[in-house]
Structure 1
Amino acid sequence: MVGIMIWALVVPFALWALLRLTGADPHWLWTPLVAYTPYVLVVALVPLVVAAFLRRRAATAVAAASVLALGVAVLPRAFPGGGPAAGGEELRVLAVNLAFGQADAGEVVALVRRMRPHVLTLQELTPGALGRLDRAGLRTLLPHTVDRSAPRAGGSGLYAAGPLRELPVIEFGFRQARAVFTTPGGREVEVVSVHPCAPNPSAPVPCWAQGLDALPRAGGMPRVLAGDFNATLDHGRLRALLDSGYRDAADATGKGFEPTWPTRGDWEFLPRVAIDHVLASPELAVTGFSAHDVGGSDHRPVFASLRFR
């Protein structure tokens, strides 16, 4: 009976580690669950200690392998990536999820004043929020815009300090606005306001997966993907995107555990996870990352400073 109980403790963590490492998506329920892998790593120590204490060698070996696999997957994001230095022109990017357009427009504009982004990507941009942001002075700070606003969570947009050349929107349930931004120094970089739909029963995995899979891979020209990915570094689809050449700004600066959601609202009871990201293609070096707070949103805005190589 004791042996059965120990294996009942060990096996779930072994299966979790296996699914995490393979990037498998066996069911839509797994998609939101895998986001909590950093927490699972900590809890996985319990069956390891129990099995070792009771001298169950096989169970101890499996539990240790699970902890090791999860640790290798998770712990590196706490350390700076040590990417090559770059002395080119700086590019500052800020991403804000407006939470159905309810984020405090004044606080968003104050954050823009403080961080001075060249490009701001907005998710869940509603027509009403667009008007409030403009009245709060956002267009004075960032006069160039791409407006793909929509009711509730489906809209997005871009504000920039310099010219934007709009590209076809990526649309799978939610609109993901995209444009080519021309920097003050004349460099061009594609910026995407990322927001695939969330994986849940009313917006099932195909919508979430299609939204992520449709994002442009690195290559061809400098690119920045910034926004609410509804995915953490433990999701296979986000890792596939990174494998094309992008670097996650939080991960590259040793801040990969910085949580961004949920800070309020119906899901506030959940442990916080990092689902908002700034990804930079190989032409851009990551020099800084930070997460912030704005009233009225259940997401923390994320900021990255980048430099052209």
Structure 2
Amino acid sequence: MTITGSPPTTRPARRVLRTVLLWVLLLPGAAWAVVRFGGWERDSLVQLFAFTPYVAAWAVVPALLAFAARRWLTAAVATVSAALLIVCVLPRSMADHDRGPQTGVTLHVLTGNMYVGHADPATIVRLVRENDVAVLALQEYTGAARTALATAGLDQLLPYSSLALPIGGDENGATGSALYSRYPIVAPGVRHNGGGFQQAYGTIQPPGARPVTFESAHPLAPFAVDVLPKWRSDLQAQPHAEASGPLRVLMGDFNSTLDHRALRTVVSHGYRDAADATGKGLIGTWGPYADPRLPPVTIDHVLVDERIGVADVSVHGLPHSDHRAVLADLRLPNP
């Protein structure tokens, strides 16, 4: 008997389709890994790269699927891509061996963005009181917020301040900045960023410790491609913590994550990110946004001079703000 007919094509076609689908799933993560590892984010990628931790988690999926399908080349590329992203992201969830000196004077500091002055003043004062906060940095600070915070009792807890009210009044409240302290503030001042935001600063000297200059950081947000040069220049203008200079702490809304090269450059100038050092670096501090489908990202930071130790960091809700407050437990060196 002679059997005639065409050879079956269904199975090879399915294999090709599966391979194509795997590469479709893989290639975006692979490109993301290369750009992130090289620090080459540009234009609209700047905003997207704030979500790199989520991409790192997703990048594992194509690798697992490729191994399950026995597509070894695809699996190898997917594994390398996932590994690159995981190396960039995962260490933020693990406490560093080097968190700086763990002896010295204990100082609790807190920072929060008030969302054009709308953040609940009672919550801020409660966080200060319950956590023995000695230095408080606020962004998007307004005249109305100043009055509300005083009414809630902040001035009794932190009587010294360096304040920058919004340029043009409360209707431009995003430009305001504040620094409150339990101890007298020496040489208070205000940095005017090229992007339009202000940064209040001043030097304090807690009993038994060396003087420390604190600054309420607030670079411009990278909300559009045409403002990216100002976003970068605001970050570049942040003061360095030089070994021969004063101790420094920058804390506030940096409008950037550790997946942005511009912020990593700031950290490299003598700082450590307190949340990163204590394994809390993946806790989101901004969000939910107007679009609740977007997950939170970590753009609020406490950057600590490498000569200062970090014992712990925690993140706290701030009602009526789109940010969360960051609390850091520091160890200041003795004179």
Give TM-score, length-normalised by structure 1: 0.94
Q: 1:268 to 1:304 in 2, by over 3 A?
A: same
**More displaced stretch, 183-192 vs 11-20:** 183-192
Give deviations 1:256-303, integer Å, cap 9, x for gaps. 11111114x514431011111111111100011111112111111001
Counterpart mapping for 1:138-287 below 5 A: 138-150=154-166, 151-164=172-185, 165-172=187-194, 173-185=196-208, 187-201=210-224, 204-219=227-242, 220-263=245-288, 265-287=289-311
Could you say what the CA RMSD is over the residues aligned between the two structures, in angstroms?
Answer: 1.7
The Cα shift of 1:203 comes to: 7.1
Distance 2:126 2:226 in 1: 33
Say whether the 8 Å CA contact 2:253–2:299 is kept in structure 1. Answer: yes
The Cα shift of 1:246 comes to: 1.1
Say whether the 8 Å CA contact 1:194–1:225 is kept in structure 2. Answer: yes
Distance 2:293 2:115 in 1: 17
The Cα shift of 1:144 comes to: 0.8
The Cα shift of 1:16 comes to: 0.3
Distance 1:296 1:93 in 2: 21
Give deviations 1:14-54, integer Å, cap 9, x for gaps. 11001111111321x11121111111111112221232233
Q: 1:267 to 1:166 in 2, by over 3 A?
A: farther
Q: 1:202 to 1:156 in 2, by over 3 A?
A: farther
The Cα shift of 1:168 comes to: 4.4
Give deviations 1:162-189, integer Å, cap 9, x for gaps. 1212144141221122221222335211
Unaligned 5+ runs, structure 1: none
Instruction: Tell me what 2:70 maps to.
Output: 55
Say whether the 8 Å CA contact 1:108–1:294 is kept in structure 2. Answer: yes
Say whether the 8 Å CA contact 2:105–2:209 is kept in structure 1. Answer: no
1:227 alignment partner AA: G
Give deviations 1:204-254, integer Å, cap 9, x for gaps. 212221221111122122111111111111111111122222111111111
Say whether the 8 Å CA contact 2:315–2:327 is kept in structure 1. Answer: yes
Runs (4+) of structure 1 exceeding 6 A deviation are: none
2:106 alignment partner AA: E
Distance 1:158 1:107 in 2: 17
Distance 2:67 2:204 in 1: 56
The Cα shift of 1:113 comes to: 0.9
Distance 1:224 1:37 in 2: 26
Unaligned 5+ runs, structure 2: 1-15, 167-171
Instruction: Tell me what 1:13 maps to.
Output: 29
Say whether the 8 Å CA contact 1:193–1:226 is kept in structure 2. Answer: yes
2:81 to 66, 88, 99: 66
**More displaced stretch, 55-64 vs 105-114:** 55-64
Say whether the 8 Å CA contact 2:190–2:199 is kept in structure 1. Answer: no
Give TM-score, length-normalised by structure 2: 0.87
Say whether the 8 Å CA contact 1:99–1:124 is kept in structure 2. Answer: yes
Identity %: 42
Distance 2:298 2:241 in 1: 22
